[in-house]
Amino acid sequence: MLRIDEELARQLIAEQFPHWENLPVSPVEFGGWDNRTFHLGKEMSIRLPSAERYADQVEKEQHWLPIFAPLLPLPIPIPLAKGKPAKKYPWQWSIYRWIDGNPVTARNVMNKEELAIALGRFLVAFQKIDSVGGPPPGKHNFFRGGSLTVYDAETRDLLITLHDKIDTGVAAKIWEAALGAAWHGQPVWVHGDVVASNLLAREGKLSAVIDFGCMGIGDPACDLTMAWTFFSGSSREAFMATLAQDYETWARARGWALWKALLLLEKYSASDKDKADQARNVICALFEDYEQKRK
């Protein structure tokens, strides 16, 4: 198994960017899963894909993020240099300008409604960027922006596995509604992984959006799952109102949120009660919202 640590990061810098080799290298507290991230001095970060399936994301981010940055209302990562494969590391990698902030949590945000509106406005602006030439859904972004049918068999298996843990009858209705709400619009940009850990907060407010490795063009529904994974009540309504999507798009968004929550519930049911409870809470929020919107 490839070991990605400070020593490797320091060695790559020394070999390929010797003008930065005297800068200190240290791990980032929240370094991510798809990539391992390290501080490079005070103003930069090193981002190393953790497996081959994430390596194609480097070229995407290097090309598109500088184009996006001036068109968006919040800061996003800006690539400063691209590293090459090396003897001890087989993939491309990146150096970015560091963005200050902490991953969003329920505790470090002053007002969830304000955050919901700010995030909604960011996504609206992102979807308005010209998508010509953008990468369509595929393995590079785990089919974000594509059809939920990719995950149909897996979801139906999960519903069987979890029959004694949730009301799989309601879950199946949400899933069928998502599959039946086809996307007919023009492709728009999707981030592909809009979760709290990929949002940064400063002084209680949303300050940046990071980790665009799953970006592509297609159906925006996959970017809307924060409606149930983080927001509730008035903040959920503020998020939905800001995005102003149609009923069918929200139905597909519920499908994306349900698929992921089922995966997490199955994964953690026997090993991590807190994470299993979080997944179950998302499923309960989906059930409640689905029933309300049907009335």
150 and 47 in a common domain: no
Rounded to whole angstroms, what are the CA distances from 27 to 16, 21, 76, 111, 156? 19, 16, 20, 30, 39
Tokens of 52: 């081959």
Is 86 within 8 Å of 93 (Cβ atoms)?
Answer: no
Nearest-10 Cα torsion for 10, 13, 14, 17: -160
Q: Among the three residues 45, 70, 98, which one is the final residue of a domain in this structure?
A: 98
Is 159 within 8 Å of 262 (Cβ atoms)?
Answer: yes
270 and 151 in a common domain: yes
pLDDT score for 295:
52
pLDDT score for 166:
97
In a domain, 126, yes or no: yes
55 and 17 in a common domain: yes
140 and 21 in a common domain: no
Helix-then-strand count for the chain, H and E:
10, 10
Burial of 124 (0-12, 13-18, 19+ CB in 10 A): middle
| Residue 265 domain boundaries | 103-294
Q: Return averaged pLDDT per consecutive 10 residues of the chain, 295 residues in all.
A: 92 98 92 86 96 93 98 97 97 96 95 98 98 96 97 98 96 98 94 97 97 97 98 97 96 98 97 97 96 75
In a domain, 179, yes or no: yes
140 and 43 in a common domain: no
241 and 159 in a common domain: yes
Predicted TM-score (pTM) of the model is: 0.95
267 and 248 in a common domain: yes
Q: What total number of domains does the chain contain?
A: 2
265 and 119 in a common domain: yes
In a domain, 197, yes or no: yes
154 and 27 in a common domain: no
Give the largest CA-CA distance in the chain: 63
pLDDT score for 29:
81
Is 212 within 8 Å of 191 (Cβ atoms)?
Answer: yes
185 and 59 in a common domain: no
Q: Among the three residues 98, 113, 130, which one is the final residue of a domain in this structure?
A: 98
Cα–Cα distance, 237 to 239 (Å, whole number): 5
CATH of the domain at 87: 3.30.200.20
In a domain, 111, yes or no: yes
CB-based contacts of 261, cutoff 8 Å, min separation 6: 229, 279, 280, 282, 283, 286
CATH of the domain at 228: 3.90.1200.10
Is 152 within 8 Å of 194 (Cβ atoms)?
Answer: no
Is 39 within 8 Å of 59 (Cβ atoms)?
Answer: no
130 and 18 in a common domain: no
* Range list of β-strands (E), 157-271: 188-190, 199-202, 205-209, 216-218
Residue with tokens 């994470």: 275
Tokens of 202: 């400063």
In a domain, 1, yes or no: no
In a domain, 199, yes or no: yes
In a domain, 270, yes or no: yes
User: Among residues 32, 12, 8, 30, which one has the least CA distance to residue 20?
Assistant: 12
pLDDT score for 127:
98
